[in-house]
Amino acid sequence: MEQLARELLEANAGKVTQNERLAQHTTMKIGGPADIMIIPNGIEGVRKTLELVKKYNTVWTIIGRGSNLLVSDKGIEGVVIKLGEGLDHLEIEGTKVRVGGGYSLIKLATLLSRQGLTGLEFAGGIPGSVGGAVYMNAGAHKSDMSEILVRAHILFADGTMEWLTNEEMEFSYRTSVLQKKRPGIVLEAELELQEGNREEVIALMQKNKDYRRDTQPWNFPCAGSIFRNPLPNYAGNLVERAGLKGYQIGGAKISEMHGNFIVNAGNATAQDVLDLISHVKQIIKEQFDVEMQTEVEIIGK
């Protein structure tokens, strides 16, 4: 690992740290150390990183702004590639948008609404990166990334780069081809929005933000929705009907505000959260005969 860290620094691929505590990089404030973490300084920096990771036959993990993630207490083996500064470029030309995978989704939605562009208002309260949103087809308010993505620039595990069209991304509910068949890193996204009435677009954005603030516990460290909605049911509703709101294991607690959120109520460990997830799955299965699937991505040793 020492030699790989040195070569990453020599390659000028980005900011490199060792034994970086990942709790500092997740919205849940949970997670042990990464052997190596790099914040690439651009697309070429990501490419160089993957090239060196392959040379040393080391495992790698990609993260963005740390939402929708539960990182193991033991941390993550190998190299963690964090997309942020360096992949936060933005170009707007009419209704067409080209944006880096490390760009904040909330920031993008806010900026575009102020320009009177409609189509991304649903993302007003989603605290992730553009890359993460494309990867998991993030959505809310009956819309998602598949509605506006034209194509995505992907760096695949074998080092090849390719633009995938919307169709080639094989989007479905909270899923894309990158999760199912072709693991890769979202370097950039091209989006197509529509011209709208600026005041109406801003008002809808604010309405969506207010709804999230009023119904979801963002005043506590959390990862967002823990479970996928087992349609036609809704995860939060099932948890509430099962009487599990407020249930706590260690420092992990089911929010009293929203049943599909687990919050870090104080020094929670990843194991606390995993135990709570298991408990919820068991109770929902017993009471409603519904198999709950996690939406949060569980990664690490």
Residue 159 tokens read as 């080092």
Query: Does residue 101 share a domain with residue 210?
Result: yes
Give the angle 225-227-228 at the CA atoms, nearest 5°. Answer: 100
Gap between the Cα atoms of 138 and 277, Å rounded: 21
Residues facing residue 36 across a β-bridge: 18, 79
**Residue 187 located in a structural domain:** yes
Residue 96 tokens read as 């067409």
pLDDT for position 280:
98
Our measurement of the distance from residue 301's CA atom to the centroid of its chain's CA atoms, rounded to an integer in Å, reads: 19
Residue in 20, 121, 188, 295 annotated catalytic:
295
Return the sign of the alpha-carbon dihedral for residues 39, 45, 47, 53. Answer: negative
Give residue-wise pLDDT tens across range 168-180. Answer: 999 998 889 998 7
**Residue 228 located in a structural domain:** no
Whole-number percent of the chain with pLDDT over 70: 100
Query: Does residue 98 share a domain with residue 211?
Result: yes
* CATH code, domain with 25: 3.30.43.10
pLDDT > 80? residue 75: yes
pLDDT for position 179:
87
**pTM of this structure:** 0.90
Using alpha carbons, select from 44, 146, 17 the residue that is nearest to residue 100. 44
Report which secondary-structure segment, H or E, holds 174: none
**What secondary structure letter does DSSP report for 274?**
H
Gap between the Cα atoms of 124 and 168, Å rounded: 26
* CATH code, domain with 289: 3.90.78.10
Q: Are 218 and 106 in contact (CB under 8 A)?
A: no
pLDDT for position 195:
94
Using alpha carbons, select from 80, 82, 98 the residue that is nearest to residue 153. 98
Where does the pLDDT of residue 107 fall: very low under 50, low under 70, confident under 90, or very high at 90 and above? very high
Gap between the Cα atoms of 62 and 227, Å rounded: 21
- Domain of 258, in residue numbers: 235-299
Residue 110 tokens read as 């806010």
Where does the pLDDT of residue 1 fall: very low under 50, low under 70, confident under 90, or very high at 90 and above? confident
Where does the pLDDT of residue 7 fall: very low under 50, low under 70, confident under 90, or very high at 90 and above? very high
The 3-state DSSP class for residue 222 equals strand
Q: Are 80 and 37 in contact (CB under 8 A)?
A: yes
The 3-state DSSP class for residue 217 equals coil
> Of 62, 82, 102, which closes a domain?
82
**Residue 230 located in a structural domain:** no
2 is known as an active-site residue: no
The 3-state DSSP class for residue 67 equals coil
pLDDT for position 142:
84
Torsion of the alpha carbons at 224, 226, 230 and 233, rounded to the nearest 10: -70
Give residue-wise pLDDT tens across range 83-96. Answer: 998 999 999 999 99
Domain count, the chain: 3
Query: Does residue 150 share a domain with residue 242?
Result: no
Query: Does residue 11 share a domain with residue 71?
Result: yes
Q: Are 216 and 260 in contact (CB under 8 A)?
A: no
pLDDT for position 35:
97
Residue 155 tokens read as 């760096």
Using alpha carbons, select from 84, 95, 164 the residue that is nearest to residue 130. 84
**Residue 200 located in a structural domain:** yes
- What Å distances lie between residue 29 and 17, 170, 250, 257, 269, CA to CA? 18, 32, 15, 19, 9
Q: Are 180 and 137 in contact (CB under 8 A)?
A: no
225 is known as an active-site residue: yes
Residue in 72, 176, 225, 255 annotated catalytic:
225
Where does the pLDDT of residue 125 fall: very low under 50, low under 70, confident under 90, or very high at 90 and above? confident
Where does the pLDDT of residue 144 fall: very low under 50, low under 70, confident under 90, or very high at 90 and above? very high
pLDDT for position 288:
97
Residue in 174, 176, 188, 190 annotated catalytic:
174
pLDDT for position 181:
84
21 is known as an active-site residue: no
**Residue 225 located in a structural domain:** no
How big is the chain, counted in residues? Answer: 301
Helix axes of 43-55 and 2-10: crossing angle, nearest 10 degrees: 150
Give residue-wise pLDDT tens across range 236-274. Answer: 999 999 999 999 999 999 999 999 999 999 999 999 999
pLDDT for position 210:
84
Give residue-wise pLDDT tens across range 38-48. Answer: 999 999 999 99
pLDDT for position 209:
82
**Residue 121 located in a structural domain:** yes
pLDDT > 90? residue 37: yes
